[in-house]
Amino acid sequence: MTMQDAQGTGAPAPAGFAQGEVIAFAGHRPDKLGGWNPWHPVVGRVKSAIRGALVDLAPSMVISGMALGVDQWAAWESVELGVPFTAALPCDDMDEAWPARSRTEFHRLLALAARVHVVSPGPYKPWKMQRRNEWMVDNSARLVTVHDGSAGGTLNCIRYAQSVSRALHPLSW
């Protein structure tokens, strides 16, 4: 499916954004977005907003931090729309503590990435999550966000993007 075949608003890209640029996604895990039920209405709204942003912005590449929730939903939507994505992993074993089903889906998605980049090789350490976020911002033209205003990694990523004057594209969901 091409970007033209996908459902979107048909609106032009926002002022100051050149189509074909690299965009990154930052957002919450499922527990802040209606829970782990993939059929929850909030999950559907978020996925629809992600798809709409991809269609409207028409990026040449998407960067996904590959965490459960928004990161992986953005990567899956990218695959469905034919937009290549870079999997930006914070460390070598980011999925080690996840349930088996989540790990299987993660590796299935990882195999579809145009590029896999491990930002900080070696085992998981909490600081590596923020380093990954900084790498995503530093390597993109715009940060697309799904954020409910709460403290955490998404807010830290947004604040870093603001500190380096990166354009933000918050999604309504």
Q: What is the pLDDT of residues 117-141, one digit of tens each?
A: 999 999 999 999 999 999 999 999 9
**Taking the mean position of all CA atoms in its chain, how far away is CA 70?**
6
CATH number of 19-145+152-170: 3.40.50.450
Residue among 46, 146, 154, 36 nearest 101 (CA): 36
pLDDT at 36: 86
State pTM to two decimals: 0.88
DSSP symbol at 32:
G
